[in-house]
Amino acid sequence: MLFFKKISLSPPQILVMGFALIILLGSVLLMLPISSTKGTTLPFVDALFTATSATCVTGLVVRDTGTYFSTFGQVVIVMLIQVGGLGFMTMATLFSLVLKRKISLRDRLLLQEAMNQNTMEGIVRLIRKVLMYSLVIESCAALIFAIRWSFDMPIGRALYYGVWHAVSMFNNAGFDLFGEYRSLTQYVADPIVNFVAMFLIVSGGIGFIVLSDIIEFRRHRRFSLHSKVVLSMTSALILIGAIVIFIFEFTNPRTLEPLGWSGKIWSSFFQSVTPRTAGANTLDIGALRQATQFFIIILMFIGASPSSTGGGIKTTTFTILVGAVASMIRGRSDLVLFRYRLTQERIFKAITLTMLSLFLVIAVAMVLSTTEDASFLSILFETTSAFGTVGLTMGLTGKLTVIGKIIISLTMFAGRLGPLTLAYALGPKKGKELYRHPEGKMIIG
């Protein structure tokens, strides 16, 4: 962080440069012959795509992680996932705390921007909680994974797989080591793997503020408005998503039909949870019906929650949009959630963020439609997956052209950092307008 202090940059600019430098460093390391199993050099565009996908915790891959990359390369990828998921400012703060260095005011401003907070109050305390919760959750999940997979592979490999996939799942990255782009399809009906993976995805996706509220509920006996909104909307989306996927895919011979009832239920819930920016899958996404694929696009666009390891426009933004529509239909001027009224500034910010995100997805999909030889639904799915830092694909990723790989890499980068910089840019500005224009009237609808 000393380098950034010597140049005059705003917090969003420092975050963008920080993530860009991490991606470039990761690209160089992945290009080294030691990073591949065959000792060959990975082309720069493929290395850049992989490093961007890992740092932006997406999960889209152009080279199979489990077969192409060596142990060194896999370790580089999982380190990029951890740094990208928690944020490089969080990791820098960890080193400062270990070295007992004082956290400066500028550092706190950067942390406030990185964690998408409205105030600096208690920001260092929040970072300590983020690091502690992450370590505990990942360690427990890694142990359970290792015990389960020890029945399928040597204990050393099972432990390695357990740690690796616990980090990947908690950070909503979606990378896996099972080879042949299979993800978790071989464990489609396994209750242990399904439950632990979904728990990690949801824990990383609801945000550290909500995690803190849940863990400390016994002491405070209440949830903040933010936690109530996140928990209620997350639960609703998972339940509705599972029901919709179950209904659409129940008679699909390539997905749910061959499975028993437990397999149908587990896979329906897993495919409902994973679009929350996780990227892992237990069913072949390309084999899903088009209605299901389009529904997953909607879930991916919504994404996870603020201050989490996930992307998308976030559940709170979606809640405000739905609430604003409901209030307008009911003829009410105020948006009230859990007996709290939200200001118009929050509503405008949610609308602006959603529209800019929608424009980005549409623009990228239109450009890719001219550079890639694929169906529009497949391109839209890939674009939304990249923007929401999800990592699910209908099979297009490995067929992308060089231009397509670069465009998707930029989309992943924008999806990971866009909401942060937008939140800063749309924040309340100091000073008042000296005048107001006369009120105009126009017909709507």
pLDDT in tens, 259-272: 999 999 999 999 99
Residue 109 is predicted with a pLDDT of: 55
pLDDT at residue 324 greater than cutoff 80: yes
For residue 147, what pLDDT is reported? 96
- Quote the CA–CA distance of 293 and 183 in Å, as a whole number: 18
Q: What is the pLDDT of residues 159-172, one digit of tens each?
A: 999 999 999 999 98
Q: Is the pLDDT of residue 402 over 60?
A: yes
pLDDT at 262: 94
CA angle, 316 then 318 then 324, to 5°: 100
Task: Say if 379 falls within a structural domain.
Answer: yes
pLDDT of 2 reads 44
In 3-state terms the chain splits into helix, strand, coil percentages (rounded to 5) of: 65, 0, 35
440 within domain boundaries:
no
Determine the Cα–Cα distance for residues 217 and 210; give it in Å rounded to an integer.
10
Q: Which is more confident, 436 or 268?
A: 268
Which whole number is the average pLDDT over 225-236? 92
N-term to C-term CA, the chain: 51
Q: What is the mean pLDDT of residues 51-69?
A: 93
Which pLDDT value is given to residue 417?
A: 77
Q: Is 355 exposed, middle or buried (0-12, 13-18, 19+ CB in 10 A)?
A: exposed
Dihedral pair phi/psi, residue 68, rounded to 5°:
-80, -45
Q: Given pLDDT bands bounded at 50, 70 and 90, which one contains residue 211?
A: confident
**Looking at 168-182, 207-221, 279-293, 383-397, which range is the least confident one?**
207-221
Question: What's the total number of domains in the chain?
Answer: 1
Given a cut of 50, whether residue 3 has pLDDT beyond it is no
Q: DSSP readout, 340-393?
A: EEEPHHHHHHHHHHHHHHHHHHHHHHHHHHHHS-S-HHHHHHHHHHHHTT----
Determine the 3-state secondary structure of 318 from DSSP.
helix
Distance between CA atoms of residues 184 and 203, nearest Å: 19
Confidence at 9, pLDDT banded by 50, 70, 90: low
Helix (H) or strand (E) holding 337: strand 335-337
Q: Which residue has the higher pLDDT, 422 or 383?
A: 383
Q: What is the mean pLDDT of the segment spanning 57-83?
A: 93
Please give the pLDDT value at position 426.
46
**Cα–Cα distance list, 296 to 60, 338, 368, 369, 381 (Å):** 16, 28, 20, 20, 8
Nearest to 286 by CA among 141, 183, 412: 183
pLDDT of residue 41: 94
pLDDT value, residue 1:
45
In a domain, 289, yes or no: yes
Lowest mean pLDDT among 15-24, 107-116, 125-134, 253-262: 107-116
Please indicate, yes or no, if residue 434 is contained in any of the structural domains: no
Per-residue pLDDT reduced to its tens digit, 92-126: 555 455 445 555 555 555 555 445 555 555 566 66
Residue range(s) defining the domain that contains residue 48? 2-423
Distance separating alpha carbons of residues 246 and 241, to the nearest angstrom: 8
Flag whether pLDDT at 394 surpasses 90. yes
Query: Which pLDDT value is given to residue 146?
Result: 96
Q: What is the mean pLDDT of residues 402-408?
A: 96
Domain membership of residue 444 (yes or no) is: no
- How far apart CA 163 and CA 178 sit, in angstroms, is 14
pLDDT at 214 over 90: no
User: Three-state DSSP class for 240?
Assistant: helix
Amino acid occupying residue 210 = V
Q: CB–CB of 313/354 below 8 Å? A: yes
Distances in Å between the Cα of 369 and the Cα atoms of 32, 331, 363, 400 are 33, 41, 10, 11
Residue 192 within any structural domain of the chain? yes
User: Do 391 and 279 meet the contact criterion of CB atoms below 8 Å apart?
Assistant: yes
Place of tokens 């936690």: 227
Q: What per-residue confidence (pLDDT) applies to 331?
A: 85
Q: Does residue 437 fall inside a structural domain? A: no
Q: Per the domain annotation, does 391 fall within a domain?
A: yes
Question: At 12, is the pLDDT very low, low, confident or very high (cuts 50, 70, 90)?
Answer: low
Say how many C-beta atoms besides its own lie within 10 A of residue 78's C-beta: 22
